[in-house]
């Protein structure tokens, strides 16, 4: 017997029962970003492996253990994108777009990491992200963070906390790195295997460890904000003032670092306690040196990405359904000429941006069976075409969710107005 075909572990189907929630979230966030002047960019799923090794950092879990990397037929090493920023920077350089103007981009789509699947963490996951190129101003940081705060208010979500920190300049981090390494080496026997591996290559990542056995050790480590350079301190203080003025509540978390090597200065995360260990819903920060690092002209930049799966789950556990009810009409008819007229009626009713969803029954059977299918489909209006209606050029309109049976036979061109009138009478 042939084995049962299944999706790859950690890669999930999104079936019609759930996709309306995804559409609703994507549409609302898209609307917020467009009001802030962001334009959509669509980037390849595959990029040269070198792009991620150079941007994310070779001594990171993503590059070392999690990337889906393979050789194509030409012997080139390609990787399914594990995040979106690197591809956006590559696109801007390749197309010569970093010419001093401010660019505001957003994107959405799947990302891929070979992690152990668990709640809130998948091997194919989806992100919505935004990148701003061309300004080092803390005002831009504040505007971007305030936009993410607008996401939650638009969705009716409460309980998310904004955590904020500054990683300072590269030079300031180098000094801090030495102090941190000295401290950690003095407690080497308490470090886990991953932390010992990172001690020489990427010690700041140890501050991001999720191992609860290291929490006390990390809490006692030297504080990164105490080692900020003057320009970064001024930038961060100004950002905090701006967020206060915009009434965006935040907490300064001196242990907050980002897992990717390209970040500097501002870093932030929106976190929740409602999803267990996978509590980060949205995260981002500044990466002012990355464009130049990849061969472009010096271009300051800041961005973020949010996990769509986690956001959808957070809405569910919060009891929030982002889907707006949509009108659904169901056309039932007798066999023969009425079937063709049913198709024509449905086609006419679907015209226009405000048109309802119109389903035509194709399974046949008597009116009773067709009406049962209309009810099961969730239709609120049935449109009936029988021999009498066909002869008269009329349609019988029946409200299926009315408190009392409501039905009218009307001319075909009066269907929309009749449904609106009957619905208004029912509401009153």
CA distances from 113 to 50, 116, 340 (A): 16, 9, 50
Phi–psi pair at 3, nearest 5 degrees: -70, 150
User: What are the tokens at 421?
Assistant: 């009138």
Round to whole Å and give the CA distance between 282 and 129: 9
User: What are the tokens at 129?
Assistant: 């992200």
Q: For the chain, give me the number of helices (H) and strands (E)?
A: 15, 16
Q: What is the largest CA-CA distance in the chain?
A: 93
Query: Which pLDDT score, from 0 to 100, does residue 428 have?
Result: 64
Provide block-wise average pLDDT over 10 residues at a time, the chain (428 residues): 83 93 96 97 96 74 78 95 95 94 96 83 94 97 98 95 93 85 86 83 78 86 87 96 97 82 90 87 94 93 96 95 91 92 93 90 92 93 94 93 86 89 73
Contact 161, 272 (CB under 8 A): yes
Query: Which pLDDT score, from 0 to 100, does residue 39 have?
Result: 98
Contact 261, 60 (CB under 8 A): yes
* DSSP single-letter state for residue 288: T
Dihedral sign (CA 149, 155, 156, 160): negative
Query: Which pLDDT score, from 0 to 100, does residue 12 have?
Result: 92
The H or E element that residue 268 is part of is: strand 266-271
Query: Which pLDDT score, from 0 to 100, does residue 205 have?
Result: 78
What's the residue count for the chain?
Answer: 428
Q: What is the pTM of this model?
A: 0.88
* DSSP single-letter state for residue 400: S
Query: Which pLDDT score, from 0 to 100, does residue 277 have?
Result: 74
Please name the residue that has the structure tokens 């012997």.
Answer: 75
Strand partners, 320: none
Best CA proximity match to 221, nearest among 192, 177, 184, 189 = 184
């Amino acid at each position: 017997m042939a084995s049962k075909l299944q999706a790859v572990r950690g890669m999930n189907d999104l079936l019609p029962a759930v996709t309306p929630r995804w559409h609703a979230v994507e549409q609302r966030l898209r609307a917020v970003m467009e009001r802030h002047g962001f334009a959509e960019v669509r980037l390849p799923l595959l990029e040269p492996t070198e792009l991620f090794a150079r941007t994310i950092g070779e001594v990171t879990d993503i590059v070392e253990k999690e990337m889906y990397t393979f050789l194509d037929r030409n012997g080139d090493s390609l990787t399914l994108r594990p995040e979106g920023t690197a591809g956006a920077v590559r696109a801007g350089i390749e197309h010569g777009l970093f010419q001093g103007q401010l660019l505001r981009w957003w994107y959405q789509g799947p990302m891929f990491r070979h992690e152990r699947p668990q709640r809130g963490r998948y091997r194919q996951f989806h992100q919505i992200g935004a990148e701003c190129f061309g300004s080092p101003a803390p005002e831009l940081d504040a505007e971007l963070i305030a936009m993410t705060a607008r996401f939650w208010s638009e969705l009716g979500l409460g309980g998310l906390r904004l955590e904020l920190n500054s990683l300072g300049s590269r030079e300031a981090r180098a000094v801090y790195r030495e102090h941190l390494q000295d401290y950690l080496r003095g407690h080497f026997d308490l470090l886990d295997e991953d932390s010992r591996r990172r001690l020489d290559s990427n010690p700041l990542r140890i501050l991001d460890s999720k191992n609860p056995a290291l929490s006390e050790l990390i809490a006692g480590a030297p504080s990164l904000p105490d080692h900020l350079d003057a320009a970064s301190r001024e930038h961060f203080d100004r950002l905090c003032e701006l967020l206060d003025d915009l009434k965006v509540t935040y907490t300064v978390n001196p242990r907050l670092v980002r897992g990717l090597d390209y970040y500097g200065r501002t870093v932030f995360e929106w976190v929740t306690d409602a999803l267990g260990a996978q509590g980060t819903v949205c995260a981002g920060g500044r990466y002012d040196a990355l464009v130049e690092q990849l061969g472009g002209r010096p271009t300051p930049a800041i961005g973020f990405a949010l996990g769509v799966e986690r956001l959808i789950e957070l809405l569910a556990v919060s009891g929030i359904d982002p889907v707006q009810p949509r009108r659904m009409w169901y056309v039932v008819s007798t066999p023969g000429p009425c079937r063709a007229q049913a198709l024509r009626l449905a086609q006419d009713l679907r015209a226009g941006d405000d048109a309802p969803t119109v389903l035509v029954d194709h399974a046949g059977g008597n009116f009773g069976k067709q009406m049962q299918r209309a009810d099961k489909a969730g239709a609120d209006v049935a449109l009936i075409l029988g021999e009498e209606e066909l002869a008269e050029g009329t349609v019988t309109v029946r409200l299926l969710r009315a408190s009392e049976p409501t039905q009218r036979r009307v001319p075909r061109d009066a269907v929309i107005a009749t449904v609106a009138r009957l619905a208004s009478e029912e509401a009153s």
